Structure formats: C-alpha cells, structure tokens
Amino acid sequence: MTSFKSTLAAAILTGTSALIAQPALADGEVNVYSYRQPDLIEPLLTRFTEETGIETNVLFLDKGLVERIQAEGANSPADVILTVDIARIMEAKEGGVTQPVTNNKTINKDIPPQFRDPEGDWFALTTRGRVVYASKDRVDQDKITYEELADPKWQGKICIRDAQHSYNIGLIASMIAAHGEDYTEEWLSGLKNNLARTPSGGDRDQAKAIFAGECDIALGNTYYVGLMQTNEKEPEQKDWAGAIKVLFPNTDDRGTHVNISGMALAKNAPNKDNALKLMEFLASGEAQKIYAEQVFEYPVMPGSEPSDIVKAFGTIKPDTLPLAEIAANRKKASELVDKVGVNEGPEG
C-alpha cells in the first residue's frame, strides 16, 4: 500500500479535513476509504497489487468516513469504501456516497444474494461472531447466552470495550430486535452492574484483562482470537489468546449475533475501472481464502471454509435475524447505552 501521490490527498491521510480533495486520477491506482483496521486488509490489498500491479492508497478512519466523502463532494478521491458492519455500510448508502454496481457477473457469482444490497450499493465480504471470551482456568461452563451476562453471578467479572463502539452497538441492537427496548434497558443495567471495570480498550485488550485476572469473561469478535494466536510481532498476545476459550452464545436457541464486513463503490470514484477490479478481487475465491486463513473471518462465498484455527473454536450457529433489522435499532441501542450509563462502569 502506498500513500496518496498528490499533496492534497496526502493531507487527507494526515487528517487535514478542512481541505477539499481533488480527483486522484492516475493509471494503476485505486483509493480506498476504510473503516477496517489496516492490519486486517493489508494481506488482501498486497495480494491484489501483486496480481494486478494496481497500487492501493488507503485512508483509514475510525469515524466520520461518510461525512468526509460528503464534504469532498464531486472531487472526492474515494474509489472503494470498506466498512466493518452492516450499519456503517447502510450509512454510506443512505448518506449518498455510494453508487450501484449492477449486473457484475463476477461479484454476483461469488457473493450470494442475501449478502448483497438489492440495489447493488453494497456487498458483504465476510461475517464474524460477537462471542464471549471466557477464562479457561476460572470459567467451567462451555455454554452461555447473551441474556445471562446480566445475571448477578457474573458481578465484577465482565470486561467490555466502549459500549458505544460499533461492535457492541450491533449486539445491543440485536437484543432490542429480539426482546424489545424495555427488556434491553434492564439487561444493560444488569450488564453494567456486572462489569469489573470501566469499559476501555479493544477486543484484544479484553482477552489481556482475562489473562491478567481482571475479569473472567468478555465480549469480543471471533477473528481477534486467531489474530492473537498467530501474532509474531507481539508474541505476548499468544498468551492472552491461550488464556481464553470461545463461547458461542445462544447456540441452543436463536443463535450467535453475527455482523459483516462490506464494500461499496464510491459515488464519484475517479478510478472506477480499477475500483471494480479491486471489488471483483475482494469477492473472489482467492480473497475469500485470505479472509479465512489470514484474517480469521467466515467467508460468505458458498463452499468456502473457515480456517482450521477458527474451526477449533467450535461451530457457530448464526442468528438469522436480518442485519437490516439490527441496523434499524442501532440509534435506540446507542441511546440506551447513554441512558443506562454503561460507559460509566460499575457502581461503587
């Protein structure tokens, strides 16, 4: 991956948002605006460049991606948008910063209809489960439900990241869809009272806290466990992963909450042909294999298998609740987090 070649695009990469971007027209380049963390997409983009010779310029944002593209207007350098969940890909479409990709036989062949926007504005690439990390030493049970996280038996034993983070909001939204707003508010109050500390860090930090004995269970995405298990740059993460087991909630009833990573073609993509080549690659069997083997996610392509590491976690039974229904409850979920004061941590 390279930085944007133009001075203005470089300013975007360094966060100079006051400027309005100019078109990033260049042979052999494609500009990616990404909510996905760089280390999760780097293996895919590296392989794409090796195969095509097309360089990928990446702007990573943890928030405000849609607003930035809106501000850039018709001169936005964005070609491809990558997102971490259904809500953010829907925000991109509803924010008017995508354009439909229709009748693309390559993409439509590899991505099943249930993982594509009916109007062609977005495509899911992978799924991941929002699971429970549990201490191998201190948690005997091998089954759990999301509802159980509010049980007083877990008081002082649960760690989570920021409750307003997209991953947790998606789960809370699924609780609203499954049980209603009143139940979810009460559930959040119970979860808050069971926290061992103020919500902080990322998913990997929750595993670290379990390893350190700060809590016994935590919420986290499945793929982070694989990333920790294979992390050679920070080998201490292998110890964090070694301290936990993965519990798939609600396997005996509605199933485990899952979300998607997705892609969309930016509305004013200046390098549209290259953007479509990248999107076709990301949908391909080769990319799906990289998702499985290097990113440890569940591929959406029919017949694709998760990695052996992911299989070792156990069998996931995905919740069949439509992701669009979950996305529709995200605003309520966010409001409930503030109302209950989850991010204030446990009382006392």
CATH number at residue 57: 3.40.190.10
The position carrying tokens 């070609």 is: 79
Shared domain check, 248 and 299? no
- Backbone φ, ψ for residue 210 (5° rounding): -65, -45
Tell me which residue range forms the domain holding 289: 7-126+259-305
Shared domain check, 285 and 204? no
Shared domain check, 132 and 232? yes
For the segment 183-198, the average pLDDT, to the nearest whole number, is 98
Shared domain check, 140 and 108? no
Residue type, 103: N
Shared domain check, 177 and 147? yes
When the pLDDT of each residue in the chain is averaged and rounded to a whole number, the result is 91
Shared domain check, 88 and 172? no
**27 pLDDT more than 80:** no
Is residue 129 within 8 A of residue 166, CB to CB? The reply is no
Question: How many CB atoms lie under 10 A from the CB of residue 156?
Answer: 14
Angstrom distance (rounded) from CA 169 to CA 333: 6
Shared domain check, 336 and 208? yes
Residue 1 lies in a domain: no
Shared domain check, 150 and 196? yes
Q: Residue 215, SS3? A: coil
Which range, 26-35, 105-114, 215-224, has the best average confidence (pLDDT)? 215-224
Shared domain check, 264 and 119? yes
| Total number of domains constituting the chain | 2
Shared domain check, 171 and 145? yes
Angstrom distance (rounded) from CA 319 to CA 330: 17
Q: What percent of the chain has pLDDT over 90?
A: 82
Who's near 209: CB < 8 A, 6+ residues apart?
159, 196, 197, 201, 215, 218
Shared domain check, 227 and 148? yes
Shared domain check, 193 and 141? yes
**318 pLDDT more than 70:** yes
